[in-house]
Amino acid sequence: MPHIEYAGVKVELQAGESVLDALLRSNFPISHSCKAGVCQSCLLHAPGQAIPEKAQDGLKDTLKAQGYFLACACHPGGDLVVSPPAADLQVAAKISCLQLLSENVLRVRLTSTGPFAYRSGQFVTLVREDGLSRSYSLASLPQENHLELHVRRVSGGAMSGWLHDGATADMTVWLRGPAGQCFYVPGAPEQPLLLAGTGTGLAPLYGIARDAILQGHTGAIWLFHGALDDAGLYLVDELRALSDRNANFQYVPTVLRSGGPGEAEVGALDGAILSRFPKLSGWKGYVCGDPAIVNSLRKKFFLAGMASRQIYADPFLPSAA
């Protein structure tokens, strides 16, 4: 089996093991999260070496060309000498605002110390001083002078627990990325847009909706946000105000359980959407949040006539620890 050399130590891959598995087994503290080749937390560097194509899936071309790859998706055919990402791949950022938006969703605003180009709806890898890293979607607009993430408190979550309970303004963190294809693309200003998500899937959708409006989108923009109950909804006032200011933007909050005379529609998210729009041919869709719901929604949108290439899905994979 191939050997992986890291920090001067050689580790032999066991059958079926990824580079990440092998290095973790050898007690190297490689930062990682989804273990599914998506979140890019486990980015490693092996310049000038033969990296399997699959291990570079979803990386920016510039990163591919420099020999970066995802350790969790890397099953190399030969030996590799690998190292952590270079320091210049990360931008330092200061926490500028921590604000609870609901019982368990925290707004985290960051000010980067250098240029950080991105599109609203893409995701970044947030890296703590000790190397702990997790991915979060960007709810802010590139024109705003801060980056905004929505962080749900995950039970036992290392990063979310720290952000909710330990982090304070002015602390320094690092950002890698951005990555992801879930963002507004100008060029079809009249096309109706359907944005749907649950939980903090709202973060990218909030960014995408505002980006589309700012870029002069004239077609209808419908944003459906689903939650278990009223306590799971957030940014309700902001989204209603956005709708009041923009005739083509509609916001529909839905909850599965009604806790009283809330303003949200009671029922399933897909029902709220498909009862209004049973035929979705010609629409573009953005679906973000819980993976099971994302996959179910995108299949339903597809079966309702939305073209497969018009569906942008961003399933939030949990940290595999």
Check binding of 298 to another protein (CB under 8 A). yes
Strands (E), 146-278: 147-152, 172-179, 193-198, 221-227, 249-255, 265-266
Beta-sheet strands, E only, within 65-213? 68-70, 80-82, 91-100, 105-112, 123-127, 133-137, 147-152, 172-179, 193-198
Asked whether 35 and 72 are in contact (CB, 8 A), the reply is: yes
| Span of 2-10, 126-134, 201-209, 293-301 interacting with another protein by CB under 8 A | 293-301
What is d(CA 254, CA 263) in angstroms, rounded to the nearest whole number? 9
**Considering only 39-47, 101-109, 117-125, 296-304, which stretch makes contact with another protein by CB under 8 A?**
296-304
Task: Please answer whether residues 77 and 50 qualify as being in contact, where contact means their C-beta atoms are separated by less than 8 angstroms.
Answer: yes
Q: In this complex, which beta carbon is closest to another protein, that of residue 28 or of residue 277?
A: 277
Q: Does 284 bind another protein (CB under 8 A)?
A: no
CA pair distance 269, 227, nearest whole angstrom: 8
Residue with Cβ nearer another protein (224 or 312): 312
Contacts with another protein by CB under 8 A: the residue count is 10
- Cβ proximity to another protein: between 39 and 139 the closer is 39
Q: DSSP 3-state helix, strand, coil percentages of the chain (rounded to 5)? A: 25, 30, 45
- Determine if 299 is a binding residue for another protein (CB under 8 A): yes
307: contact with another protein by CB under 8 A: yes
Cα separation, 277 vs 255, whole angstroms: 19
241 to 280: interface string for another protein, x by CB under 8 A? ----------------------------------------
Residue 84 and residue 6: Cα distance in Å, rounded? 9
- Specify the stretch interacting with another protein by CB under 8 A; choose among 27-35, 119-127, 169-177, 292-300: 292-300
Contact stretch for another protein (CB under 8 A) within 67-75, 137-145, 233-241, 297-305: 297-305
- Shortest approach of another protein to residue 291 CB, angstroms? 10
- The two tokens of residue 225 are 């946000």
Residues that bind another protein (CB under 8 A): 295, 298-299, 302-303, 307-309, 311, 313
